[in-house]
Amino acid sequence: ETGVTQSPTHLIKTRGQQVTLRCSSQSGHNTVSWYQQALGQGPQFIFQYYREEENGRGNFPPRFSGLQFPNYSSELNVNALELDDSALYLCASSSGRGGIYGYTFGSGTRLTVV
Amino acid sequence: AQTVTQSQPEMSVQEAETVTLSCTYDTSENNYYLFWYKQPPSRQMILVIRQEAYKQQNATENRFSVNFQKAAKSFSLKISDSQLGDTAMYFCAFSNFGNEKLTFGTGTRLTIIP
């Protein structure tokens, strides 16, 4: 079975630009969550999608948005990038019970905003 | 709001020795789940072990075991017969029943010395 795949692995953007990060869920998983991990910190929950609907959101502004597609892959979009958006963005998938049984994580996208 | 605290930013131990990583959490809920995740330099979060709060028995997975003290809100991870491949960041995480969001601590960097 394939795991969670994220692309790109690294990205450099300029302040004010927009960025799209992509995630392919593990086969059979219908739920995807996105986390932001700043340097030296633990991951922070951004939002979760279940069957193409947003199913929970953390304390992030509306310029962080997402999509989940019928094949359960997902995108994270960030508009009007700020320097503090520089972080590792992790995608995690589960079969709908990740909060109970745990998630499968990808290796993340390292975003640098300059 | 739930919080997770890991008070040991860094630890090191000789190969084959036993090491214990500490984690405390704060919640007013009675039904919840606790996790330890490992993040090696590859950046992918890997689930090490999980514990259901309503179970008295401490979880064990091969060389990894936990000491779950519900009244003290403590959830420590013991790694026995430590191996070089155990070198990684270790994150304690929490989720409430019915909420798929994971709340992470700030992590402990563990180094296994040959």
Nearest CB to A45 within list B35, B50, B102: B102
Predicted confidence (pLDDT) at residue A99 exceeds the cutoff of 80: no
Whether the CB-CB separation of A109 and A7 falls below 8 Å is answered with yes
pLDDT band at A2 (very low <50, low <70, confident <90, very high): confident
Which residues, 6+ apart, have CB-to-CB distance to B23 below 8 Å? Answer: B4, B5, B6, B34, B36, B74, B75, B76, B77, B92, B105
Contact A42 B45 (CB under 8 A): no
Q: Tell me: the pLDDT tens digits for A4-37?
A: 999 999 999 999 999 999 999 998 888 999 999 9
Q: Which residue matches tokens 């992470």?
A: B104
pLDDT band at A97 (very low <50, low <70, confident <90, very high): confident
pLDDT given for residue A36 in this prediction: 98
Q: What is the mean pLDDT of chain A?
A: 93
Q: In 3D, which of A34, A29, A30, A48 has the Cα closest to residue A6?
A: A34
Question: Does residue B84 sit in helix, strand or coil?
Answer: helix
Q: Which residues in A lie closer than 8 A to residue B4 (C-beta atoms)?
A: 42
Contact A99 B45 (CB under 8 A): no
- For residue A98, the surrounding DSSP H or E stretch is helix A98-101
For A102, nearest residue in chain B (alpha carbons): B47
Neighbour-count burial for B3-37, b at 16+ CB within 10 Å, e otherwise: ebebeeeeeebeeeeebebbbbbebeeeebbbbbb
Task: Pick out chain B residues at pLDDT < 50.
Answer: none
For A42, nearest residue in chain B (alpha carbons): B106
Question: Does residue A73 sit in helix, strand or coil?
Answer: coil
Contact B47 A100 (CB under 8 A): no
Window B:16-45, CB contacts with A under 8 Å = 33, 35, 37, 42-45
